[in-house]
Amino acid sequence: MASAFLTTATTPTSLSFTSSSIFLSSHQFHIQKFNFPILPLTAATTSLSISCKASPIPVLNFSGEKVGESFLDLRSAPPTTARAVVHRAVVTDLQNKRRGTASTLTRAEVSGGGRKPYPQKKTGRARRGSNRTPLRPGGGVIFGPKPRDWSVKINRKEKRLAISTAVASAASSAVVVEDFAAEFAEKPRTREFIAAMKRWGLDPKEKAMFLMTEVPENVRLSSRNIGTLKMHTPRTLNLFDILDADKLVLTQDAVDYLNQRYGADYLGSDDEDEEEEDDYEGDEEGAVDGEEGLCNCIVTTVADKVLDCGLGCGFVVVVDIIENFGQVGLKWLK
């Protein structure tokens, strides 16, 4: 690696002087002093190639019987680069979640200490010019934190590749279940939901993530008291819960969505990329009062009306337009 770099940064031979070691060209200097071998130039980086492999997943009915197979045909990074891609996406999420509001006062910003606390001499004490010195309690802070922006950028395609790679890696521990919303149509039943999880081969004590295109209200209520379970829709799908889950449970509609959104044939569009970026930014800012799974709805040209967000999160949007500033305030109400 080093030798390849050094051979690219050579001085033209017409500008080299070999009569004295002081005037050796960079190429000759490195050869004489460090004895680096001359190697042909080779590619120093590994290309981020993309691979795609269909993973068969068993399809189970509500009783736990196998009724067929489904396939996840996702575009994922190869093993040599998969860890780096996913790691970069995780670090980006952690960085973007930092508020950056920590602030301390320097000795110039601490109040008081305008006069010398005691005379310079004849006290037997160390000389002191101000009470605001960082060496005294109540003084300023040396190199303390100041408000800053910790956010970093990640390419949309790279973020999408990290999610699809994580889902593809979890395919070995995934199951596909038939639509079971009708089983909870009458009322929520947590006990029956836990029994269904056991029939699907899930341990209620292990972490599991459900991915459904739409979460009915009774299904959400039946699963909300299970602490090890995370219920997601495509809008709330995130990398952390995929990596944290021991089991991945999908519906057939969710499998079709993943194959369409993250499959090998997906080319994407500007509108979908912008929508995905808005969803990504919403995940960083969207949790309100400790609630999980809230969506960021964009409402325009609506005043003094109460609207359902239409995404099945169980919340409504109250829109008020402030005439003086022309701003729109969004509030979440249960």
Specify the pTM: 0.60
Sequence-separated (6 or more) residues with CB below 8 Å from residue 259: 71, 72, 73, 74
pLDDT in tens, 198-241: 999 998 889 999 999 988 899 999 988 898 999 999 888 989 89
pLDDT tens, 286-315? 333 333 443 444 433 344 444 444 444 444
Cα gap 330→36, rounded to integer Å: 65
Amino acid at 115: R
* Contact between residue 223 and residue 180 where contact means Cβ atoms under 8 Å apart: no
Q: What are phi and psi of 87, to 5 degrees?
A: -60, -40
CB neighbours of residue 130 within 10 Å: 16
Q: How confident is the model at residue 268, as a pLDDT?
A: 62
pLDDT at 55: 65
Report the interhelical angle of 79-97 vs 270-285 (nearest 10°): 50
Instruction: State how far the Cα of 176 lies from the Cα of 256, in Å rounded to an integer.
Output: 11
Alpha-carbon distance of 255 to 261, in angstroms, equals 10
**What gap in Å lies between CA 34 and CA 37, rounded to an integer?**
9
Predicted pLDDT of residue 199:
92
pLDDT of the residue at 293: 40
Indicate left, alpha or beta for 64 from its phi (over 0: left) and psi (-120 to 50: alpha): left
pLDDT at 21: 38
Return the beta strands (E) in 61-173 as ranges.
66-76
pLDDT of residue 158: 92
Bridge partners of 16, per DSSP, are none
**Rounded alpha-carbon distances, angstroms, from residue 152 to 89, 102, 226:** 10, 18, 34
Give me the helices (H) in 202-251, please: 217-223, 239-244
Distance CA 255, CA 246 (A): 18
Q: Give the pLDDT of residue 323.
A: 38
Domains of the chain in start order, with CATH, are: 2-34 (no CATH), 51-96+152-285 (3.40.1370.10), 292-334 (no CATH)
Q: Going by C-beta distance under 8 Å and a sequence separation of 6 or more, which residues neighbour residue 201?
A: 64, 175, 247
Nearby residues of 220 by Cβ (< 8 Å), 6 or more positions away: 231, 314
pLDDT of residue 54: 63
Count CB neighbours of 179 within 10 A. 15
Q: How far, in Å, are 73, 224, 254 from residue 177 at the CA level?
A: 18, 19, 10
Contact 245, 170 (CB under 8 A): yes
Return the amino acid letter for 215: V
The C-alpha angle 259, 262, 264, rounded to 5 degrees, equals: 80
- pLDDT at position 48 is 40
The token duo for 84 is 């780096």
10-residue mean pLDDT profile of the chain (334 residues): values are: 42 35 41 47 43 72 88 86 92 91 92 86 89 89 93 92 90 89 87 91 90 90 90 90 91 90 70 54 42 40 42 42 37 37
